[in-house]
Each structure stands twice: as structure tokens, then as C-alpha cells.
Structure 1
Amino acid sequence: MASACKDSSSSPIIPQVPVNAQLNVSSQLYPDLRQDGGFAYLQEGYKGIIVVRQSASSYFAFERACPYDPTNSCALEVDPSRLFIVDPCCGSQFNLKGQVIGGPAIVGLRQYRTSLVASTLYISN
């Protein structure tokens, strides 16, 4: 696992990819988004997007590329405990608000804008 990590001073930046997505948070496709701390993965973004429900009216959307090494082969995922987000390649950990809780990453996750209108969540950059 540690062999996939590299020096953060030479880490590349995450490429900017246009994001303009929407999803119905009440849809059968996203059952986990019906509870606080629930999440869903979307295909948009550079390596995908993790949508995390904070409350019935508040959602976060994060890029799945780790800021430590966005070019590695991994995409961020929610840990099976559902308590944090992890990069399986380098082991960096982030809380469900996108902040670093374990290195080697030293900066938080790229966050996309979210806007909830009725049951439709709009995600953009």
C-alpha cells in the first residue's frame, strides 16, 4: 500500500473537468441518500464523484481523485465503516466533510457546488 504513495511536493494537480450533474435524492437508485451519512457514487468528474448526505437539506459532493496523487489508479471510496473516505492506494483518509484526517495527503478533497431543489440535487463546478 505505501509503495503507491509518493512525495507530496511533486504531486500533480487534479485536472479540471466540467461538472453539471443532477440526481433525485429520493430515487430508488440512491437508497443510501435517504439517511444522514449516506452516500452515492456518480460517474461525473475526473475519477467520479462521491455525494454524501449531511442532513435532509445538505449534501456534499467530492471528486474521487485523491489530492495527494490524483494520477494513481485508485478512486476514493467510503470506508466500509461509513465513517470516513479513503484512498486505497496511498491510505489517505478524509472525514465525510472532505477534510484530511490521515496522511499522506495534506489538503482536503476537491468539493463541487451542490444545490437542492425539491428532491433534485444539482452538482457543478
Structure 2
Amino acid sequence: MRLRALGSWSAVTLFACLLTSLAFPSLSLAQEELNRKVRTRVAPAYPELARRINLRGTVKLLVVVLPNGNVKDTKVMGGNPILVNAAIDALKKWKFESSPDETSGTIEFKFEPTD
């Protein structure tokens, strides 16, 4: 019975990965990496579900940073939905150096399961 539940869980995970590839195709954008120094960097928490299924991946986010260095907005550019919220939550806590203007760019978070 437990093996049957595991098989069902694997099918759901495979389906979620397939949907991810359709929902977040590879993007070739003119957007560049954010060219502002990070003052406070918060690492994302590795989601428990991702840990249980040994999921690894990269989440790419577009971030808009206010002149005072706070994150104004984020937008998902790609990544597995299981990992996306952890990346967004972490990035919203980042602080950047001040700048005369609002800036934007991309940030990538790599998720690797650890033992």
C-alpha cells in the first residue's frame, strides 16, 4: 500500500515538472544581471517537499530595487513552482546599496538538496 502511494506521488511530481517546463520556458531576454552591490543577502529556505523528493533546480527572478536599496517588486522568469516561493521570500529580504535611481535585473537562486 505504501509503495502504491509512493508511485502516485512520483506521478504527481513528474506531472508538476512537465507543467513547469510548459509554464516557464527558457527565456532569452535582454534583461541583465542586477549591477548593484548586495548589502544583506538572505539564503532561501529549501522547501521540505523539495527535500523529500530530492528536487534540485534554478529559479530566475526579475527584481526591481528602489533607490534606498529595498526590493520593490519581483517577477518569476523561470523555475520549478515548488522552489519559486522560497526564492521570492528570500529575495524580498535582500538589501542593496543605495543608488540615485530605481534599478532592475535578474537574480538566480540554485537549489541543491543536502544531506
TM range (shorter): under 0.3
Higher strand residue share: 1
Of the two structures, which has the highest relative contact order with CA contacts closer than 8 Å and spacing of 6 or more?
Answer: 2
Structure (1 or 2) with the larger CA radius of gyration: 2
State the TM-score, normalizing by the size of structure 2.
0.28
Higher helix residue share: 2
State the TM-score, normalizing by the size of structure 1.
0.26
